Amino acid sequence: MDIASVVGLLAAFGLILVAILIAPGSSLMAFIDVPSLLVVCGGALAACLIAFPLKSMLAMPMTIKVVFLNKAVDYGALIKQIVSLAETARRDGLLALENRIGEIDNPFIITGIQMAVDGTRPDAIEDIMRTEMDAVSTRHRDAKAVSDQMGRFAPAYGMIGTLLGLIIMLGNMSDPSSIGSGMAVALLTTLYGAVVSNVLFLPFSEKLGFLNKQELLGMEIVIRGIMSIQSGENPRVIEQKLRTFLPPSVRAKMDADK
């Protein structure tokens, strides 16, 4: 569970709710309007259906799930595992790594080690692994794009809903006392559009982008490590090389854990 995502979402909606409840003369029911919600959410979803293939839209629930359920990459553990494999390769030879594949839980490392053990050329190993890395980046970018567009379409449909409400209100000016309430309902769609965009989909998009960077950095560390193992570099040199990807705080923690 990504605690930051949960706390942030609850805090955002909680602050809005508190602001409504403590405002003098305000009522929570005055901020609930089903037609406005349908225009914003339904309109943004419909626009995304036009902009993206159905497959991308059906994958959207799983994409949002990643925002709340994800596992942070442990770069320190990743480097330790690569260094351990390097020590085995230096001590017993590259072929000895085949016996350790069963204890590796990272599929990307397994791919690289298997190719190295099979005697694949170094340039081919790097090319294949970077191609897979690019494919992962592309899939993540496509998933993020749906959330990005939902965040852009929602305020636009909020404005469309407001215009619709104003047209309906101005078309029925026979009762001046209803103008105030009609204007309030018309403005609700703008509010809904801003909330859906800035509380939900744009933050979701940013979190997906952050997670993508984390995963790609882990894959880059693996590629550099596998190539160093394949070339027979000293395990200590490999460790120092891979540690350069990490911030000083993470390096200090790795040193403390030794």
pTM of this prediction?
0.84
What sections of the chain are H helices per DSSP? 3-22, 34-37, 43-51, 54-58, 60-68, 75-92, 107-117, 122-170, 179-195, 202-230, 235-243, 248-257
Greatest alpha-carbon pair distance for the chain in Å reads 91
Residue range 153-196, pLDDT digits in tens: 999 999 998 888 888 777 776 766 666 666 777 788 899 999 99
DSSP state of 101: G
| Residue keyed to tokens 């170094």 | 122
Residue range 48-101, pLDDT digits in tens: 999 999 998 998 889 889 999 888 888 888 999 999 999 998 888 888 888 888
Q: How many Å apart are CA 242 and CA 257, to the nearest integer?
A: 17
Among 221, 219, 51, smallest CA distance to 136 is for 219
